[in-house]
């Protein structure tokens, strides 16, 4: 069972900020912004490559509720999902990073080498 499935099953504690029948959202333990929430489906889906359109539609509503709950819907926020090893996915369970609470920079690609990829 993956780490996020254990959080869903309450086998591992987390700082939950929002939960419904299908999704759960909790604070990231290694935040990259003043607000850094992870939103995940309660059923295991490996990554964005396997998610259904119906689940994404429902996840969209859930993420918008998260932004309202933590009061970043007006100031702005970023939603990111990483897919696969090259995409930086560390936990093989679909999850979305919801980041906000400050003006976010875009410097995380500084270590990527684009040569030979285009």
Q: At CA 92, angle to CA 29 and CA 110, rounded to 5?
A: 65
* pTM metric for this prediction: 0.89
CATH number for the domain formed by residue range(s) 3-100 = 3.30.428.10
What six digits make up the tokens of 30?
Answer: 């290694």
Beta-carbon contacts of 91 under 8 Å, excluding residues fewer than 6 positions away, are 2, 3, 4
Active site residue 44: no
Instruction: Count other Cβ atoms within 10 Å, centred on residue 35.
Output: 20
Longest dimension (CA), the chain: 45
Q: Per residue in 3-55, pLDDT tens?
A: 999 999 999 999 999 999 999 999 999 999 999 999 999 999 999 999 999 99
Active-site residue among 95, 97, 108, 117? Answer: 95
């Amino acid at each position: 069972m993956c780490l996020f499935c254990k959080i869903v099953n309450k086998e591992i504690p987390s700082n939950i900020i929002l939960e419904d029948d299908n999704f759960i959202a909790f604070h990231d333990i290694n935040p990259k912004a003043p607000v850094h929430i992870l939103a995940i489906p309660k059923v295991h889906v490996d990554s964005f490559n396997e998610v259904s359109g119906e689940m994404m539609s429902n996840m969209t509503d859930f993420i918008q509720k998260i932004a309202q709950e933590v009061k970043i819907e007006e100031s702005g926020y970023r939603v990111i999902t990483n897919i696969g090893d090259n995409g930086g996915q560390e936990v093989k369970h679909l999850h979305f990073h919801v980041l906000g609470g400050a003006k976010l920079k875009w410097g995380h690609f500084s270590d990527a080498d684009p040569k030979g990829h285009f």
